[in-house]
Amino acid sequence: MRSVPLGYFFSRISLNCFWLTFPVTEMITTLAGVVFYRQFMKKETRKNKNI
């Protein structure tokens, strides 16, 4: 899968929208981190219950 920077898409809309790239990217990264953390914690709690 090829990734295309959000800045390119926002710059095509308008230059003012380009500045939304940073906050939108931070939100996406934070949400992905929360999802991965929750999956990890579910596995850890299952593993600790079996001990």
Mean per-residue pLDDT for 40-49? Answer: 88
Residue 35 has pLDDT above 70, yes or no: yes
Mean per-residue pLDDT for 16-37? Answer: 91
Q: What residue has token string 């230059």?
A: 15
Domain range list for the chain: 6-49
Cβ 24 vs Cβ 5: under 8 Å:
no
> Taking all residues of the chain, what is their mean pLDDT, rounded to a whole number?
86
pLDDT value for 50: 72
